């Protein structure tokens, strides 16, 4: 085989991936849909340009490996503590309810109970890659709904790691499944302890030495070495490649170099994950689909409806309002890439009765394709439901004590301040008179009521005279002056924070007693948010960590903030 013939599959892969990404962006669809269609077009069921060979499957597996490494970079004990309501409450409840429902369906269709349990739990999981892309496309990763969805996905991925490890060992004596599960769990715990120790005593000193060389390329090489070596080590221990990748990311996550490593590894992860979805598309057989398409569509619809309903119920049981729970249910309703891996294991697919292995695989692929449309439907429905809450007003005079910060205007700046307060366990209440902003904020999970400063009854009920701080989400001199004119005379006694666009505006507002901040950095309003946190007594180290986290979530350059300087008179 000549060099040109060896390179041909790679060229086709990259060309098809590029075309898929550009085309999906042009028609405003998730690139994942484009990758699935591209794989179908170039695969055996399409033009047959590339065969679904071992090399293609290996590259696709590497995509999942790097996805789990990125998840591990976001996982830490601190993350569990800050997201405990979602990771210890919402996520387990959703997995148990969904997994149990799908397992019972499997038993009803003649699945052996171990297979029904494995496939059922795998169907309870959602696609991290799809949801992350949808949140990014809608600028929702940092809102309460987005953060809760991400926390649930992390918890699901932890379950998926052990599920894949257990599924890979399936095929022996069914009477020994319990013992095998305990052995796998023991190995996993041991690997977790090793990863924690390695992160503290090996990875951290190693990156400190690399930082002294001031050579960023070495970070890339070492990061690749760590993830591949850890994946190979867990695979040799009869665990999964993905477990090693996750633990490698976790080892790096507790070092100050997590953000640098993440930025360096992101291009590899994105490319290989695109190949994974193209591999899924290549694995779909159109002739086989022609024979079973009614079962495939029915199964896909059942997956979407059952998961949407169960996630909604689980979210409501965990304190979510109806609009936010609705959007969360639709967002997490699709199947997972891990289901494709589980069903693709020979011992699992052969144990499934009839042609159910092909039906489940194709149905999950359909849910991945339908995810953007289904999620958009959920967002529209959530907004309709949020419209019904406009008339709801606070019904207790103690609301000022319960919400020490009031945010007028849930703009981008206002939402960022709400994110900062929520992250530091400081209650707030948003007030917005703009119908579209109000509906969007409610459906995204923010605490907000409809109204403005001209409504004296509302201002009294939200405790404007007793609150600790007031934030104006709308920037500029005009908005601040209008707020003072509209608020009841003498009712504004707390420090008021506002963002401005010019030095002249800052000077004029400072003369009026505002804490005005020039908006220099991204995300918008970060200077205002950090000053507010300082005024509320939050330590600078925690503020710095929060700003870095916001940059990470939004894909912005990692620039640690300097302590905010007072810009008030």
Q: Which domains does the chain have, with CATH numbers?
A: 8-292 (1.20.1530.20), 399-554 (3.40.50.720)
Q: Look at 540 and 523; give whichever has higher pLDDT.
A: 540
Instruction: Give the pLDDT of residue 56.
Output: 66
Q: Look at 245 and 30; give whichever has higher pLDDT.
A: 245
Instruction: Give the pLDDT of residue 105.
Output: 94
For residue range 432-462, list pLDDT tens digits in order.
Answer: 888 888 888 888 888 888 888 777 777 777 7
DSSP 392: -
Spatial strand order of the sheet with 469-472 comes to 448-450, 428-432, 405-408, 469-472, 496-500, 515-518
Model confidence at 98, pLDDT cuts 50, 70, 90, reads very high
DSSP 53: -
Mean pLDDT of the chain: 80
Instruction: Give the pLDDT of residue 561.
Output: 47
- Give the Cα separation of 248 and 229 in Å (integer): 9
For residue range 454-506, list pLDDT tens digits in order.
Answer: 777 777 777 777 788 889 888 877 888 788 777 765 667 788 888 887 888 88
Q: 279: which 2 tokens?
A: 């591999």
Model confidence at 301, pLDDT cuts 50, 70, 90, reads very high
Q: 193: which 2 tokens?
A: 């302890």
- Give the Cα separation of 217 and 125 in Å (integer): 36
Position of tokens 């013992």? Answer: 179
Q: Does the pLDDT value for residue 377 go beyond 60? A: yes
Phi first, then psi, for residue 466 (nearest 5°) are -115, -5
Report long-range pairs for 158-162 (Cβ below 8 Å, ≥24 apart).
158/75, 158/246, 159/95, 159/121, 159/125, 160/122, 160/125, 160/242, 160/336, 160/338, 161/68, 161/188, 161/240, 161/242, 161/243, 161/246, 162/188, 162/243
Q: Measure CA of the first residue to CA of the last residue in the chain; give whole Å.
A: 76
Taking Cα atoms as reference points, which of 257, 252, 336 lies closest to residue 69?
252
Q: In this prediction, what percent of the chain has a pLDDT beyond 70?
A: 86
Q: In this prediction, what percent of the chain has a pLDDT beyond 90?
A: 12
Taking Cα atoms as reference points, which of 71, 78, 72 lies closest to residue 424?
78
Which residues sit opposite 517 in a β-bridge? 499
Q: Does the pLDDT value for residue 569 go beyond 50? A: no
For residue range 355-375, list pLDDT tens digits in order.
Answer: 888 889 889 888 988 888 899
Range with the poorest average pLDDT among 281-285, 327-331, 444-448: 281-285
CA 254 to centroid of chain Cα atoms: 19
């Amino acid at each position: 085989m000549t060099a040109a013939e060896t390179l041909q599959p790679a060229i086709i892969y990259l060309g098809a991936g590029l075309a898929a990404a550009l085309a999906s962006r042009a028609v405003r669809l998730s690139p994942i849909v484009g990758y699935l269609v591209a794989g179908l077009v170039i695969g055996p069921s399409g033009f047959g340009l590339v065969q679904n060979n071992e090399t293609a499957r290996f590259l696709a597996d590497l995509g999942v490996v790097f996805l789990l490494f990125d998840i591990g970079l976001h996982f830490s004990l601190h993350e569990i503590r800050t997201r405990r309501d979602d990771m210890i409450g919402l996520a387990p409840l959703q997995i148990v309810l969904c997994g149990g429902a799908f397992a019972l369906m499997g038993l009803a269709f003649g699945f052996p109970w171990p297979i029904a349990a494995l496939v059922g739990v795998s169907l309870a999981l959602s696609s991290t890659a799809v949801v992350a892309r949808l949140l990014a496309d809608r600028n929702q990763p940092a809102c309460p709904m987005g953060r809760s969805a991400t926390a649930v996905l992390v918890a699901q991925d932890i379950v998926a790691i052990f599920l894949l490890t257990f599924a890979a060992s399936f095929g022996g004596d069914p009477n020994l499944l319990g013992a095998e599960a305990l052995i796998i769990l023991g190995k996993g715990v041991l690997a977790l302890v090793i990863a924690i120790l390695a992160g503290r005593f090996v990875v951290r000193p190693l990156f400190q030495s690399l930082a002294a060389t001031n050579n960023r390329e070495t970070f890339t090489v070492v990061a690749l070495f760590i993830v591949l070596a850890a994946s190979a080590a867990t695979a040799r221990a009869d665990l999964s490649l993905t477990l090693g990748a996750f633990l490698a990311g976790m080892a790096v996550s507790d070092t100050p170099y997590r953000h640098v490593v993440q930025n360096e590894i992101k291009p590899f992860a994105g490319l290989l994950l695109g190949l994974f979805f193209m591999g899924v598309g290549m694995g779909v057989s159109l002739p086989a689909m022609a024979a079973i398409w009614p079962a495939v569509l029915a199964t896909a619809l059942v997956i979407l409806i059952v998961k949407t309903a169960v996630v909604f119920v689980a979210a409501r049981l965990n304190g979510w309002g109806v609009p936010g729970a609705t959007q969360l249910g639709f967002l997490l309703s699709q199947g997972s890439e891990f289901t494709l891996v589980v069903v693709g294991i020979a011992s699992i697919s052969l144990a499934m009765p009839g042609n159910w292995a092909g039906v489940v695989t194709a149905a999950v692929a359909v849910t991945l394709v339908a995810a953007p449309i289904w999620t958009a439907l959920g967002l529209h429905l959530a907004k309709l439901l949020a419209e019904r809450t406009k008339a709801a007003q606070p019904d207790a005079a103690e609301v000022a004590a319960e919400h020490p910060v009031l945010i007028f205007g849930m703009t981008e700046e206002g939402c960022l301040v709400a994110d900062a307060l929520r992250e530091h366990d400081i209650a707030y209440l948003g007030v917005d008179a703009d119908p579209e902003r109000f509906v969007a904020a409610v459906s995204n999970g923010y605490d907000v009521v409809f109204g403005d400063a001209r409504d004296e009854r509302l201002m009294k009920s939200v405790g404007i005279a007793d609150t600790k701080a007031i934030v104006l989400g709308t920037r500029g001199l005009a908005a601040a002056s209008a707020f003072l004119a509209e608020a009841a005379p003498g009712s504004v006694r707390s420090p008021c924070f506002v963002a401005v666009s010019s030095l002249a505006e800052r000077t004029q507002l400072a003369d009026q007693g505002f804490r005005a901040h020039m908006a220099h950095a991204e995300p918008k309003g970060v200077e205002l948010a950090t000053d507010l946190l300082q005024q509320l007594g939050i330590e600078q180290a925690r503020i710095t960590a929060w700003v870095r986290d916001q940059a990470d979530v939004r894909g912005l350059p990692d620039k640690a903030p300097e302590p905010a300087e007072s810009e008030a008179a």
